[in-house]
Structure 1
Amino acid sequence: MKATQQLHDLGQSLWLDNITRTLLDNGTLARYIAELSVTGLTSNPSIFDAAIGEGEAYDAGIHAKSLVGLSGETLFMELALEDLRRAADLFKPIFDATHQVDGWVSMEVSPLLAADTAGTITAAATIHAQAERPNLFVKIPGTPEGIPAIEEAIYRGIPVNVTLLFSCAQYVAAAEAYLRGIERRVAEGKDPQVASVASVFLSRWDVAANPQLPADQHNRLGIAVAKQTYRAYRELLASPRWQKLATAGARPQRVLWASTGSKDPNASDTLYVDALGAPDTVDTIPEKTLLAVGDHGKPGPALPMDGGDADAVLASVTAAGVNLDALATKLQQDGAEAFVKSWKQLLQRIADKQAALSAKH
């Protein structure tokens, strides 16, 4: 049995961390659904920047939208949502069969809004309405400014993928924002079923910390953070606060493992995916890593609910001189800045293509 099927049978959803028009056009995404247990998809500005930059798949769409006066973010949003609607429709049978637990796609609010709570709330509502698909998450960063926007979006009934979480503490802040949004809905007699996932980024911990650590501690930090976070997730689901909401009909905000491609050439290319199997979680996987897992992945035991060796690993990393709290803050800030850079590159790429295409026509 393929590792992807083993993880699916364990109760973990495997999502593809990629989208391109080519993947949709040539049937590759449909094949991943059929053969590699893929049950959802995530996107981000870097992914769309690469997709639009490669080849000519988007040229006709860019030119047609230019002719009706679209440009910049408005044009990009139309292009991205065209892809995501098609992907959402491919996943709709899974969405229906799992009673809306699985089968999701995700679209990010503009990273330029990362420090703008009100602007993020408005953008989330706009994307949700424009997408016209029940199985589309709006991605909102779990930055300090994003936390109140997450609560408000959930309260308004907008499904949210909380992105750019790195530490257990950042995860807990996002989970509590979700709980507050649902509690407000319950208090007003509104439907408590508003879906959400909380995306915790893992491999970047090791990229940042490995240079400061002895070789025998390399590539252990990201997995330890995941174990610590999984323990917090399980504790939350067992709490009286959550049980009260569950009784009212609410669904858990699932933890999602992101940044699960191995970035160390000396490590296994399936390192994180093999280590992070756990029921009631999601793993969003880069395409190259997904293919590696399907080919030779070897899932280990499910993540321990009590955190396993997480505390010991985190203590040893701290003893080696890594300030985990400071690094978590830096990783989140760096992640937000990287998305801004990709967003600006993306808009420039679209503007350049518009100019070239209008000159050609």
Structure 2
Amino acid sequence: MASTAPKELNELGQSLWLDNITRDLLDSGTLKSYIETKSVTGLTSNPTIFDNAISKSSWYDAEIHKQLDAGHKGEDLFFNMAIQDLSRAADLFLPIYERTGTVDGFVSLEVSPLFAYDTAATVKQAQALHAQANKPNLFIKIPGTPEGLPAIEDAIYAGVPINVTLLFSADHYLACAEAYLRGLERRVAEGKSPDVRSVASLFISRWDGAVGDKVPAEIKNTLGLAVGQQTYKAYRDLLASDRWQRLENLGAHPQRLLFASTGTKDKNASDTLYISGLAAPNTVNTMPEGTLLAFADHGKLAGALTADGGNFAEVLKAHLDAGVDLTALSEELQAAGAKGFVKSWHELMAAIDEKSKVLS
């Protein structure tokens, strides 16, 4: 008998999103089924997902052929195809977007990571992609690196809904939240609406992957949850601040905290570890398809996180005592993640180039 945990999670106030998008997922009706039977209310994507789908299947061959015939190639060709898929997904989620007062039901598309050090180019592409898709429930993803923060502020100021990605700590979250607040405050100062949506994506599982062989057995697979809990407290504290309350009174909506990278890497740990342990109201958990299916099959909830985040402080201290420099590691993880995005992007472009040669 299937678990009722996805429905319980949704009722608790957390949005359950799928971290996957392929043409087959759409054509087969699988995504529609997940919405109807597994309480999925949104979706995220990234270059690696598209690279795997394009290079390891024939799902996109016919469309690549059409794009080539129309004179498109490379990055332009990719974004045209990605927007086709994400527009179809956005339409499936549109009833949820409308039913929840435009809070939930979003899909996400990433800007080119090659613009990481160019604020103006990132914002220009974010605006262009959002306009091309012409879907109100589409987030544009921008990394929350130090170089990405000015682009996040400017994109929010320009009215583009943003999914801030590649956050690894409470400090990273607060820096991105600051960029979000500044963007909204600039809009308010000019008499514009501060109702520009955003999520802040905190990566969880990579923490435990990084320290798994460096810490005592009794604290293995506890660091990711602790960082998530610490960041949730920072999120709740910010939402209780006078600065945020002023913006909310003027019509702003919270930049929701999103737990990402929630597939369990350690085969000896629970395959729903980062879902059950981070059940928190007014947040999002975006999970790989395998994790979604596991949670729908045998997931259990142990209650919701409290506003103070729970017992994360003692877990973080145990890791410090084991010699883990948490601040340095957060910076290493973010830098490695940014490099990984660039690598995935180059691999995606290479896959499209290879398919283009075969199909042209």
Normalised to the residue count of structure 2, the TM-score between the two structures is 0.98
* 1:147 and 1:177 in contact (8 A); partners too: yes
Cα offset for 1:115? 2.3
* 2:111 and 2:142 in contact (8 A); partners too: yes
Cα offset for 1:67? 1.0
List gaps (5 residues or longer) in structure 2: none
* 2:55 and 2:355 in contact (8 A); partners too: no
Instruction: State the alpha-carbon separation in 2 of the partners of residues 297 and 115 from structure 1.
Output: 41
Paired position in structure 2 for 1:304: 306
Pair 1:25 & 2:27 matched: yes
Paired position in structure 2 for 1:275: 277
Paired position in structure 2 for 1:166: 168
- Displaced runs of 4 or more, over 2 A: none
Instruction: State the alpha-carbon separation in 2 of the partners of residues 34 and 7 from structure 1.
Output: 15
* 2:13 and 2:281 in contact (8 A); partners too: yes
> Which of 266, 269, 275 matches 2:268?
266
* 1:210 and 1:217 in contact (8 A); partners too: no
Cα offset for 1:307? 2.2
Paired position in structure 2 for 1:135: 137
Paired position in structure 2 for 1:255: 257
Structure 1 residues 142-151 or 301-310, which shifts more?
301-310
> Which of 188, 191, 195 matches 2:190?
188
* 1:16 and 1:285 in contact (8 A); partners too: yes
Paired position in structure 2 for 1:212: 214
Paired position in structure 1 for 2:84: 82
Cα offset for 1:122? 1.3
> Which of 52, 55, 61 matches 1:53?
55
Q: Read off the aligned partner of 1:97 and give its amino acid letter.
A: R
Paired position in structure 1 for 2:226: 224
Q: Read off the aligned partner of 1:22 and give its amino acid letter.
A: D
List gaps (5 residues or longer) in structure 1: none
Instruction: State the alpha-carbon separation in 1 of the partners of residues 301 and 47 from structure 2.
Output: 30
Paired position in structure 2 for 1:289: 291
Instruction: State the alpha-carbon separation in 1 of the partners of residues 333 and 302 from structure 2.
Output: 27
Q: Read off the aligned partner of 1:210 and give its amino acid letter.
A: G
Instruction: Please give the per-residue CA displacement for 1:281-304, whole angstroms capped at 9, x wherever unaligned.
Output: 000010000000000001122112
Instruction: Please give the per-residue CA displacement for 1:98-137, whole angstroms capped at 9, x wherever unaligned.
Output: 1110000000000112222222111111111111111100
Q: Read off the aligned partner of 1:255 and give its amino acid letter.
A: L
Cα offset for 1:170? 0.2
Instruction: State the alpha-carbon separation in 1 of the partners of residues 101 and 311 from structure 2.
Output: 35
Cα offset for 1:83? 0.2
Normalised to the residue count of structure 1, the TM-score between the two structures is 0.98
Instruction: State the alpha-carbon separation in 1 of the partners of residues 219 and 99 from structure 2.
Output: 42
Instruction: State the alpha-carbon separation in 1 of the partners of residues 136 and 249 from structure 2.
Output: 23
Paired position in structure 2 for 1:323: 325
Q: Read off the aligned partner of 2:138 and give its amino acid letter.
A: L
Instruction: State the alpha-carbon separation in 2 of the partners of residues 185 and 154 from structure 1.
Output: 9
Instruction: State the aligned residue count.
Output: 358
Q: Read off the aligned partner of 1:180 and give its amino acid letter.
A: R
Paired position in structure 1 for 2:201: 199
Instruction: State the alpha-carbon separation in 1 of the partners of residues 51 and 116 from structure 2.
Output: 19
Pair 1:62 & 2:64 matched: yes
Instruction: State the alpha-carbon separation in 1 of the partners of residues 324 and 129 from structure 2.
Output: 39
Instruction: State the alpha-carbon separation in 2 of the partners of residues 28 and 307 from structure 1.
Output: 35
Instruction: State the alpha-carbon separation in 2 of the partners of residues 144 and 127 from structure 1.
Output: 23
Instruction: State the alpha-carbon separation in 1 of the partners of residues 155 and 70 from structure 2.
Output: 31
Instruction: State the alpha-carbon separation in 1 of the partners of residues 53 and 20 from structure 2.
Output: 9
Paired position in structure 1 for 2:358: 356
